[in-house]
Amino acid sequence: MDRTRIALLAFISIALAPYVAACFFIHPFGDDFSYAVAGMRTELFPRLRDEYLNWNGRWASNPLLLRGPLVLGIEQGLWLYRLVPVLLMITATFGWRAFLRALLPALSSADLLLGSLLLLLLSLQVMTDLGEGLYWYTGAITYTLAGALSLFVMAFWLRAWRDEWRLTRTAAFRIGLLAVLVAGFNELHMVFMVLLHALLLVVHRMEKGRWHAGIAGALVAVLAAGGVMAMAPGNAVRAAQFPMKHDALHSAMWGLLQSGRFLATWFLSPAVLLFGLLVLANARWISDRLGISPSLSLPDPRWIMASIGILVIAAMGLPYWTTGLLGQHRTVNATWLFIMPMLLVALASLVRLNWRPISQRMQWAAWTLLFVTLLFIGNGGRISADLLSGRFQHFDRQLITRYATIESAVREGSESIALLPLTDPPAAPHYMDAGSDPGFWINRSLAYYFGADDVPVKVEAPQR
């Protein structure tokens, strides 16, 4: 590895370090405790049946939620809980590596490593809610793990396109199985998998004048998996909590508005703009590594951007249709991760044009500016500030003390438990805390987890 690559690896590692360091201070909240309680107190398969009948049909993610690290108890489970974001980042890195290898097969191992780490960093930097996307087990497993696995699905189909759609039945079965698994994590990725395979089927039809049996088979399998989720009786039970659901005009209007909002947020991000500039500045180098045969050509970037628009509108409209609300930003995070590979293909299409290269000095200036942006602006800036200011460390100590307080009160048979409110919590991953109402669902989940089922637990400031 030459000096330039060593310098870039150092730059990327420094920018990624705060995201990894934060894992040592995160804590579970909300649904983490409630799913852990369900996993600790019920058998797995009966509980999965209850989830399907009374809450949702997410057959791939629910087992992971009901058998998460916290089932082992807070002392043994917390360190495993903190390991999960690291494992998710590693999985996403391998997913990006697979995708880059399919897109740019002539890349060296060193360049694949640099590229995959940089794309991981870019995905984290632009996440709308870093807590829901990485540090909150329930949200990250349901959406971010599905997104990381989607990278492998897209990498496979990109390689199939390079091979002019020549697929063995075994290969088609394997990728179809992975696509089905991704579709089982949540409703959004189910829609994404259906749209992706439908688009691939149409593209192949336009290129070859016939339908591709492997793609069609994968699409049918994904539709079947989606049907299992969509027909879950629990969907109706959960939807009953949202009176504004199934309003077509409301869903269309707000879906379009939110699509414009987040497309602007993503594509006008300084980090994304600088990344795009650096890609185009190295157009000749990247074009040499595309390795596309004369019989193939990358899709028109305008069609790719149109496809991105369709996916984003579907992703924003789906929550409004099912709940009447945008809901949590975990779906926005998942959408960004899913469209990033499409954006890369669009950039790869553009690099084949004759872009004028910029000087080496200007490129290093752009890299430096990108480094500053990733460290001091957006998620990178917030998480670095949380660590350097000691907010994360203070947050960790407060919650460890809170757990000890609850456990001590339970042992002593206290009739009620009063907890101190958190002071100066970290800004990067938003923490949804318990409140002053013992009947609030987070308060009850916390009480149940520590065995204080009949004891009111509330957060209140001490009286002066």
Note whether 374 and 416 are same-domain residues.
no
pLDDT value at residue 3 = 85
pLDDT digits (tens, 9 = 90+) for 45-102: 999 999 999 999 999 999 999 999 999 999 999 999 999 999 999 999 999 999 999 9
pLDDT value at residue 301 = 84
Note whether 415 and 290 are same-domain residues.
no
Note whether 172 and 191 are same-domain residues.
yes
pLDDT value at residue 251 = 87
And the tokens for 54? Answer: 């009374």
Burial degree of 443 (CB within 10 A; 0-12, 13-18, 19+)? buried
pLDDT value at residue 447 = 95
Note whether 108 and 235 are same-domain residues.
yes
Q: Does residue 105 belong to any structural domain of this protein?
A: yes
Q: Residues 199, 202, 207, 211: what is their CA dihedral angle, to the nearest 10 degrees?
A: 130
Write b or e for each residue in 57-90: b if 16 or more Cβ atoms lie within 10 A of its Cβ, otherwise e: bbbbbbbbbbbbbbbbebeebbeebbebbeebbe
**Which domain-ending residue is among 356, 371, 388?**
388
Of 149, 148, 175, the closest CA to residue 161 belongs to 175
* DSSP character at residue 458: E
pLDDT value at residue 86 = 98
- How many domains does the structure of the chain reveal? 2
pLDDT value at residue 464 = 58
pLDDT digits (tens, 9 = 90+) for 9-55: 999 999 999 999 999 999 998 799 999 999 999 999 999 999 999 99
Per the structure, the complete domain to which residue 400 belongs is given by 391-459
pLDDT value at residue 280 = 87
Note whether 434 and 453 are same-domain residues.
yes
pLDDT value at residue 463 = 60
The pTM (predicted TM-score) of the whole model is: 0.94
Note whether 361 and 407 are same-domain residues.
no
Segments of the chain with pLDDT less than 50: none
pLDDT value at residue 295 = 59
pLDDT value at residue 354 = 67
Of 65, 17, 456, 62, the closest CA to residue 232 belongs to 62
Q: Does residue 100 belong to any structural domain of this protein?
A: yes
Note whether 399 and 384 are same-domain residues.
no
In the Cβ-directed half-sphere of 167, how many Cα atoms lie within 13 Å?
A: 23
